Amino acid sequence: MGLQHRSAARVRALLSTGAALAVVTSGGLWGTARAAVPGTAATGPAASAVRWTATALAPGVEVRSAALGNAGAEPVWTVTVQAPATGRLSGAATWAPVGTRYWADDTAARLRAAGHPPRVEKVYWPMYSDTPHGVMGMRVRIGTYATEAAARTVARTVTAAGFHTAVDWTGYDADQPADRQNVHVAVVDPRRFTGTVRGTHDGNVAQRATTSSVAARLGSLVGVNGGFFVTSDADGVQGTQSGLSADDGVLQSMAAGSRAALIVEGGGKRARVADLTTAVTVSAGARHHDVQGINRTPGLVRDCGRPGVTPSERPWQDVTCHISDELVLFTDEFGAPLPTGPGAQAVLDAAGRVVSAGARGGSVPAHGTVVQGIGPAAGWLTAHAHRGERIDVRADVRDTAGRPVRLERGDSVVSAAPTLVRRGRTDIDAATEGVVDPRDLSFGYAWANARQPRTMAGVDARGRLILATVDGRRTGGGSEGFTLQEAASFMRSLGAVDALALDGGGSTAMAVGGVLVTSPSDTTGERAVGGTLQVLPSAPRR
């Protein structure tokens, strides 16, 4: 048996033979896990208590796994008739899974006339802190089917009758209980753990790598995927972050508006969650200019959230905004060729002195930086970046109360969206952080309101760091994921007083001992991501 296979077998054995603990309701980190079973509040208690398997990886580091379930859940395949909609940002015609009462009544009548008896269901807003409450809209569906193939056969007939359809698994619905949700939870106690916790891009912010491969290379105890990142060449350089990140106290990307961030200080001695903004300025003598991006393609702003970008200066998940006038800074962790095209750039040495200025392109020198400009900002750079002269860079990170966040060596920041728990209460600012739009139900519905694979991070009242994952997109008793509201409830059930969602979906991954323990939802296997969060022993292997 090869080394990789022996390691995988060892991790599976550890996770399967750890002490199985019946959940009690007396409180504590695991004592309230019964409340984590999604859907129980609306549909009655789960049939049995959750049983965890526990594995101690090092003093102060433990991983627990469980399968949450509801014996009364009976999800099926169904056909959803979608409502016409208009994308609020794009203005383009699109489709939404829910519509108005008038649309639903008219659609139901047309379906009956076509020989397809429908059911019309109310869909309610989740308990977000910044969206309407009550009825979101009406959902129109046809039939219940044991297989996806049977539902697709009916969907083709309904589509041929002039309706726009989707085939859905009701186990992903927020208003229905899930039959199974496989979770893994890692807890790091900084009072006992002698190693470090850090965000990492594995030395190159412009690359993608799987969470487990980075974990194996670093010899980490536990690794999870990090924040949002660029996945398409059309949206920038793949692997670069689309939100705030910092490695070892150095900013590697800027915030998209004010979004949730996990701040790990002192290599893991302290962790906290806060909504953070960033401002970066370059100075040439008495002349100053704002920087709008770090380590990204000038003109392309993934997830928006920056001043002057269009179509929105607010954060918008998975939307690429544009800007024609900006400066972008590149650190020496940008390992790809620098973007080219119209504009200007200045190459700086470790002391911040200009070593060359001219057209965009080339690479970032070791221990140096590069500033690129497009539009009028390029003219400013050309006018003030002179060979041998110094350009100073000042970065300012603040929370929503305006308090500065000072990054030191050993500090990491991993950012995604949205906030889930704040001061012990569920506080999901989904609209503010750009993952849903109350005025456009075609945007973000499946991402936020339906069950998906999720990665979550939080801190409990004792200062312990909680990293959690749930598998998803696996029908028929596999694992169906969490909605955002379920993710918040789950983190609270683990004792988190503050928590946020990290990147999810196909990015969700947890590695234990360098071996993947989650089940990827991508058909091609574990997704290569832009950044990870790693729990490293005191002497990490290289």
Domain map (residue ranges) of the chain: 77-172
Q: Which residue has the tokens 């504590």?
A: 28
pLDDT number for residue 144: 97
At 274, list the tokens: 């806060």
Apex 58 CA angle, 55 and 63, nearest 5: 30
pLDDT number for residue 47: 36
Antiparallel, parallel or unpaired: β 496-501 and 465-470: unpaired
pLDDT number for residue 541: 53
pLDDT number for residue 22: 31
Torsion on CA atoms 359, 251, 417, 451, rounded to nearest 10: 80
Torsion on CA atoms 289, 290, 294, 298, rounded to nearest 10: -80
CB contact set of 270 (below 8 Å; sequence gap of 6+): 190, 264, 463
Q: Is the dihedral of CA 483, 486, 488, 490 positive or negative?
A: negative
User: How many other β-carbons are positioned within 10 Å of the β-carbon of residue 191?
Assistant: 10
Helix extents (H) in 95-246: 101-113, 148-160, 211-218
CB contact set of 304 (below 8 Å; sequence gap of 6+): 256, 257, 311, 312, 313, 314, 315, 316, 319, 320, 321, 434
First to last CA, the chain: 23
Q: Which residue has the tokens 């390691």?
A: 7
At 6, list the tokens: 């022996």
What phi, psi does 35 have (nearest 5°)? -70, -15
Beta bridge partners of 115: none
Judge if the upstream peptide bond of residue 418 is cis by omega within 30 degrees of 0: yes
Task: Render each residue's pLDDT in the chain as its tens digit; 542 residues.
Answer: 343 444 444 444 444 333 333 332 223 444 434 434 444 333 333 334 688 999 999 999 999 999 998 888 999 999 999 999 999 999 999 999 999 999 999 999 999 999 999 999 999 999 999 999 999 999 999 999 999 999 999 999 999 999 999 999 999 999 999 999 999 999 999 999 999 999 999 999 999 999 999 999 999 999 999 999 999 999 999 999 999 999 999 999 999 999 999 999 999 999 999 999 999 999 999 999 999 999 999 999 999 999 999 999 999 999 999 999 999 999 999 999 999 999 999 999 999 999 999 999 999 999 999 999 999 999 999 999 999 999 999 999 999 899 999 999 999 999 999 999 999 999 999 999 999 999 999 999 999 999 999 999 999 999 999 999 999 999 877 899 999 999 999 999 999 999 999 999 999 999 999 999 999 999 899 999 999 999 999 874 55
| Alpha-carbon span 172 to 78, nearest angstrom | 11
